[in-house]
Amino acid sequence: MSDSILIKNIRAVDVGFDKICDIFIGEGKIIEIADEIKTTADTVIDGSGLVAIPSLFDMHVHFRDPGYTYKEDILTGAKSALAGGFTGVACMPNTNPVIDSVETVEYIIDKAKDTGVNVYPVGCITKGMMGEELCDYNMLKEAGVVAVSDDGRPVRNAEIMRQALEKSNKNKLLVISHCEDMDIIGKGIVHKGFISEQLGVEGMDRASEDSITAREIALANAVKSRVHIAHVSTEGSVDFIKSAKEMGVKVSCETCPHYFMLTHKKLLSKDADYRMNPPLREERDREAVYTGIIDGTIDCIVTDHAPHSKEDKSDFMNAPNGVVGLETSLSATLTAFYHTGMLKLDRIIELMSVNPRRLLGLPLEKIKEGNIANIAIVDLDREWTVEPEKLVSKSKNTAFKGMKLKGKPVATISEGKLVYSILENISNT
Beta bridge partners of 14: 17
HSE-up of 158 (CA within 13 Å, CB side)? 13
CATH at 181: 3.20.20.140
In a domain, 213, yes or no: yes
Spatial distance between the Cα atoms of 330 and 411, rounded to a whole number of angstroms: 13
Spatial distance between the Cα atoms of 332 and 329, rounded to a whole number of angstroms: 5
428 confidence band (pLDDT: 50, 70, 90): confident
Range of the domain at 210: 55-359
Spatial distance between the Cα atoms of 106 and 217, rounded to a whole number of angstroms: 32
At residue 187, the 3 state secondary structure works out as coil
In this structure, the answer to whether residues 388 and 279 fall within a common structural domain is no
In this structure, the answer to whether residues 265 and 381 fall within a common structural domain is no
50 confidence band (pLDDT: 50, 70, 90): very high
Does the active-site annotation cover 136? no
The closest of 286, 295, 304, 298 to 228, measured between CA atoms, is: 298
In a domain, 398, yes or no: no
Spatial distance between the Cα atoms of 325 and 84, rounded to a whole number of angstroms: 9
pLDDT, tens digit, for every residue of 177-188? 999 999 999 999
In this structure, the answer to whether residues 344 and 414 fall within a common structural domain is no
2 pLDDT more than 80: no
The pLDDT of residue 398 is 98
In this structure, the answer to whether residues 347 and 423 fall within a common structural domain is no
DSSP 280: P
In this structure, the answer to whether residues 227 and 157 fall within a common structural domain is yes
In a domain, 218, yes or no: yes
Q: Over pLDDT 70: what percentage of the chain? A: 100
In this structure, the answer to whether residues 28 and 147 fall within a common structural domain is no
User: At 2, phi and psi to the nearest 5?
Assistant: -85, 160
Burial class (CB in 10 A: 0-12, 13-18, 19+), 37: middle
In this structure, the answer to whether residues 24 and 61 fall within a common structural domain is no
User: At 20, phi and psi to the nearest 5?
Assistant: -85, 130
In this structure, the answer to whether residues 48 and 59 fall within a common structural domain is no
pLDDT, tens digit, for every residue of 164-180? 999 998 899 999 999 99
In a domain, 74, yes or no: yes
Burial class (CB in 10 A: 0-12, 13-18, 19+), 281: buried
In this structure, the answer to whether residues 351 and 386 fall within a common structural domain is no
pTM, 2 dp: 0.97
In this structure, the answer to whether residues 148 and 85 fall within a common structural domain is yes
pLDDT, tens digit, for every residue of 321-380? 999 999 999 999 999 999 999 999 999 999 999 999 999 999 999 999 999 999 999 999
The structural domain count of the chain equals 2
16 pLDDT more than 60: yes
The pLDDT of residue 1 is 41
For range 83-107, the mean pLDDT: 98
Instruction: Report the mean per-residue pLDDT for the chain.
Output: 97
For range 218-238, the mean pLDDT: 98
In a domain, 399, yes or no: no
User: At 90, phi and psi to the nearest 5?
Assistant: -115, 120
The closest of 23, 16, 80 to 50, measured between CA atoms, is: 23
The pLDDT of residue 425 is 85
From the candidates 14, 304, 312, 379, give the one annotated as an active-site residue. Answer: 304
Contact yes or no for 78/108 (Cβ under 8 A): no
Q: Give the DSSP H/E element, type plus range, for residue 166.
A: helix 158-171
In a domain, 365, yes or no: no
In a domain, 364, yes or no: no
HSE-up of 9 (CA within 13 Å, CB side)? 6
CATH at 39: 2.30.40.10
In a domain, 254, yes or no: yes
Torsion of CA 197, 200, 206, 212, to 10 degrees: 160
In this structure, the answer to whether residues 25 and 81 fall within a common structural domain is no
Q: What is the full DSSP assignment across 253-264? A: EEE-HHHHH--G
In this structure, the answer to whether residues 183 and 197 fall within a common structural domain is yes
